Amino acid sequence: MTETSATAQGATAGKPRTRIQRRNRELILEAALQVFSQYGFRGATLDQIAAEAGLSKPNLLYYFPSKEAMHEALLQTLLETWLDPLRALDPQGAPLEEILAYVRRKLELARDYPRESRLFANEILQGAPRILPYLESDLRELVAQTCVIIRGWTAEGRLAPVDPVHLIFSIWALTQHYADFEVQVTAVLGEGDPFEAAGAHLDVMFRRMLTP
Amino acid sequence: MTETSATAQGATAGKPRTRIQRRNRELILEAALQVFSQYGFRGATLDQIAAEAGLSKPNLLYYFPSKEAMHEALLQTLLETWLDPLRALDPQGAPLEEILAYVRRKLELARDYPRESRLFANEILQGAPRILPYLESDLRELVAQTCVIIRGWTAEGRLAPVDPVHLIFSIWALTQHYADFEVQVTAVLGEGDPFEAAGAHLDVMFRRMLTP
DNA sequence: GTCTATATCACGATAGAC
DNA sequence: GTCTATCGTGATATAGAC
């Protein structure tokens, strides 16, 4: 088994090599995201995903060993990118503008990747069986660090007094709502993009909340 | 078929008569709420619900004609009580206090009936297949009426200028978050009741947002 | 009214032809 | 690599004994 002659075993050992393999893998993950984000892991079926991807059901299982593996692949890439904006908070920056920028980035994520947001929501609603350890370790630690930054800003009088953890929860809730409850938002507002008005609204609200 | 001799046909035609029937119906709905709110309609199974209720699977289907019927019964009672707090907004009252009272009631609902909140969230995430007409008619109308009240308060200078629809969305998002994302909230905060701190936080935040 | 037993079907996953 | 055919399981719902 040399490096040069080794081909992917079932396309799952190692990264896919050929263009077609990469393309089909992406097709499957795209279809899986569509279905998992709507129905959750248990409510989703391979038939749906196969139809959505335009591939046969056994072909799906050639690229991924199981339904569970598809779901895990999606969750992993999600978690890698999900909290980056929070990490980008700069303690040296202007407090209010830093937080407003974070709100804007989160709202852009909700607008541009609503299915990823709903995938996460489904996972949490079902009790986070697959990512609870991550929530209790990495996420918790990241939130704790961010709280230190926020408390520092408040102590310096550059930010209105606020419960830092619940401020973070508030930002998550307000931005993800537009992705997770998109159907309800649209039903109430009628047609048209709600994100522009939402952005303006959140900008004003957080300014009032946090201006010292 | 007289009134006096008519007994429930399959216990589904008309309201249940005996104490046992009422109790079993409640047992089933309680168990169904537990399971549907976690896994959504498609992810839930009758086996789970039966086990949760301590009844046999066929016995479930004696009280309800189908899985769908259980789900519909839950959604119906949910919708009847879900928006009552919004209806309680009094145009004659003190604007800020009226809105803060609504926030508090919604947060109490999230604390006392988190499964109902998650049942609703699941339904919306799946595209609201069963309640979309309701959202587009009753809910939309109720929101429109509430917006008139809020705009009136703002015009009188008794409330800071605000986008009324997105203010309502914000209230929903911030309060339901503590029920729908309870697992995440607990994972980040550690043990202990998050609702007390959440209530204080939201009270302060909305005061700053809405004080003229 | 409640159970055991079962009909019927859809699901995830596998076998094997090509 | 991709397909058709199929296995075994678990799903909803029904039949019929008690």
Does the CB of A132 have a partner CB in chain B at under 8 Å? yes
Residues of A with Cβ-Cβ distance to B177 under 8 angstroms: 169, 172-173, 177
* Nearest CA-CA partner of A170 in A197, A210, A138: A210
CA dihedral of A84, A85, A87, A89, whole degrees rounded to 10: 170
Nucleotides of C under 7 A from a protein CB: 1-5, 10-16
Mean pLDDT over residues B133-151, rounded? 97
Higher pLDDT, B17 or B67: B67
Q: What is the pLDDT of residue B16?
A: 59
Instruction: For residue A51, give Cα distances in angstroms to A30, A40, A104.
Output: 12, 17, 35
Q: What is the pLDDT of residue B19?
A: 87
Q: Does the beta-carbon distance from B43 to A42 stay under 8 Å?
A: yes
B55-104: per-residue pLDDT in tens?
999 999 999 999 999 999 999 999 988 888 999 999 999 999 999 999 99
What is the DSSP code (8-state) at residue A45? -
* Rounded distance in angstroms from the CA atom of residue A45 to the C1' atom of nucleotide D16: 34
CA of residue B89 relative to chain centroid, distance: 18
* Rounded distance in angstroms from the CA atom of residue A23 to the C1' atom of nucleotide D9: 32
Does the CB of A39 have a partner CB in chain B at under 8 Å? yes
Compute the radius of gyration of chain A from its Cα atoms: 21
Q: Which of A188, A191, A196, A209 to mutate to test the interface with B (most CBs of B within 10 A)?
A: A188
A143-165: per-residue pLDDT in tens?
999 999 999 999 999 999 999 99
Asked whether A31 and A49 are in contact (CB, 8 A), the reply is: yes
Asked whether B126 and A37 are in contact (CB, 8 A), the reply is: no
Contacts of A159 (CB under 8 A, 6+ apart): A95, A96, A99, A150, A153, A210, A212
Give the dihedral sign, CA A102/B206/B179/A161.
Answer: positive
Q: What are the residue boundaries of the structural domains of chain A, listed by start?
A: 3-65, 70-210
* Nearest CA-CA partner of B173 in A79, A81, A208, A171: A171
Percent share of chain B, pLDDT over 70 = 92
What pTM was computed for the model? Answer: 0.94
Whether B198 shows a pLDDT value over 60: the answer reads yes
Taking the C-alpha atoms of residue B1 and residue A85, their distance in angstroms, rounded to an integer, is 68
Task: Answer whether any strand D atom is within 7 A of the Cβ of A184.
Answer: no
Asked whether B149 and B168 are in contact (CB, 8 A), the reply is: no
* Rounded distance in angstroms from the CA atom of residue B5 to the C1' atom of nucleotide D13: 29
Taking the C-alpha atoms of residue B48 and residue B29, their distance in angstroms, rounded to an integer, is 13
- A70-210 is classed in which CATH architecture? Orthogonal Bundle (1.10)
- Rounded to the nearest 5°, which phi and psi values hold at A42? -75, -30
Q: Which nucleotide is nearest to B55 (CA to C1')?
A: C2
What's the token pair of residue B99? 């809105």
Q: What is the pLDDT of residue A16?
A: 60
Nearest to A122 among B125, B174, B205 (CB): B125
Query: B81 exposed, middle or buried (CB, 10 Å; 0-12, 13-18, 19+)?
Result: exposed
Compute the radius of gyration of chain B from its Cα atoms: 20
Q: What is the mean pLDDT of chain B?
A: 93
Q: What is the pLDDT of residue B4?
A: 31
Q: How are the residues of chain B apportioned to helix, strand and coil, as percentages rounded to the nearest 5?
A: 75, 0, 25
Taking the C-alpha atoms of residue A193 and residue B27, their distance in angstroms, rounded to an integer, is 43
B26-45: per-residue pLDDT in tens?
999 999 999 999 999 999 99
> pLDDT confidence of B9, banded at 50, 70, 90?
very low
Contacts of B90 (CB under 8 A, 6+ apart): B98
Average pLDDT per consecutive 10 residues, chain A (212 residues; last block may be shorter): 36 66 96 98 98 98 98 96 90 98 98 98 98 97 98 98 98 98 98 96 98 98
> Considering the domain A3-65 in this protein, what is its CATH number?
1.10.10.60
Taking the C-alpha atoms of residue A184 and residue A15, their distance in angstroms, rounded to an integer, is 40
Asked whether A196 and A183 are in contact (CB, 8 A), the reply is: no
Taking the C-alpha atoms of residue A89 and residue B109, their distance in angstroms, rounded to an integer, is 33
> pLDDT confidence of B5, banded at 50, 70, 90?
very low
Q: What is the pLDDT of residue A84?
A: 82
